Amino acid sequence: MKRVAGWIVAGVLFVSPCVAQDAREPAVRTEAQRAFILGQMRLFLQSIQAITVALGKNDLKTVEDEAAARGRKGTPVSAIPPSMKAKETPAWTAMMGGARAGFDDIARVAHEGAPPSELIGMLGETMRNCVACHQSYRLATE
Ligand code: HEC
């Protein structure tokens, strides 16, 4: 019996971290804001895919265009749902700003004709913002 109990305790200790609650901070947004944010996220992924393929072909024009589209001026202000800014924590703003600024840098350096090895390194550094934010936040609706 004691032995069985021991196994049960061991099992619970082993399994509990796997089913632990999502520790990420909820970023509470309206349904429209959530849809907008996730749409922007899919564009990030889409452009990273296009940039990676273009780097493999040394097609710097595509790298520049795709990176610029994800940069600070890539999204028209009119497309952004109202009152989004007010909900953003400083950490959120910093990571989103870091990602956008990174894409702007990639666009500029691609325009200058940098080697793909340098550009892929910059993309990796830019993506630290993606990883950090995904580890910190999950979306929740109001
Ligand atoms: C400031 C925070 C932040 C940054 C920066 C960020 N993301 Fe996200 N992303 C999120 C959140 C929050 C979600 C929703 C996660 C959840 O609710 O589980 C998300 C979801 C996604 C999704 C899923 C989209 C869907 O339709 O479900 C993709 C893909 C994604 N992000 C890609 C990226 C990429 C690539 C980057 C970097 C270029 C990036 N994200 C940068 C916060 C961020």
Q: Tell me the pLDDT tens digit for each residue of 82-135.
A: 889 899 999 999 999 999 999 999 999 999 999 999 999 999 999 999 999 999
Task: Of 64, 52, 54, give the one whose Cα is nearest residue 109.
Answer: 64
pLDDT digits (tens, 9 = 90+) for 58-73: 999 999 999 999 999 9
In angstroms, what is the span from residue 20 Cα to ligand 1's centroid? 21
Q: What pLDDT is recorded for position 42?
A: 98
Structure token digits, residue 137: 């936040």
CB atoms within 10 A of CB 34: 17
Mutate-to-test residue for ligand 1 from 28, 106, 130, 139, highest number of ligand atoms within 8 A of CB = 130
Q: What pLDDT is recorded for position 21?
A: 87
Structure token digits, residue 64: 């520049």
pLDDT at 2 over 60: no
Please answer whether residues 64 and 111 qualify as being in contact, where contact means their C-beta atoms are separated by less than 8 angstroms. yes
Task: Of 99, 91, 95, 93, give the one whose Cα is nearest residue 25.
Answer: 91
Classify residue 113 as left (phi > 0), alpha (psi -120 to 50) or beta.
left
Q: What pLDDT is recorded for position 10?
A: 52
Please answer whether residues 92 and 27 qualify as being in contact, where contact means their C-beta atoms are separated by less than 8 angstroms. yes
pLDDT digits (tens, 9 = 90+) for 12-30: 455 555 557 899 999 999 9
Mutate-to-test residue for ligand 1 from 41, 46, 137, highest number of ligand atoms within 8 A of CB = 41
Instruction: Name the pTM for this structure.
Output: 0.89
- CB of residue 103 inside a 6 A radius of ligand 1: no
pLDDT at 49 over 80: yes
- CB of residue 69 inside a 6 A radius of ligand 1: no
- CB of residue 127 inside a 6 A radius of ligand 1: yes
Q: What pLDDT is recorded for position 17?
A: 56
Q: What pLDDT is recorded for position 8?
A: 54
Please answer whether residues 126 and 103 qualify as being in contact, where contact means their C-beta atoms are separated by less than 8 angstroms. yes
Q: What pLDDT is recorded for position 48?
A: 98
Mutate-to-test residue for ligand 1 from 49, 122, 134, 137, highest number of ligand atoms within 8 A of CB = 134
Q: Which residue has the higher pLDDT, 130 or 3?
A: 130
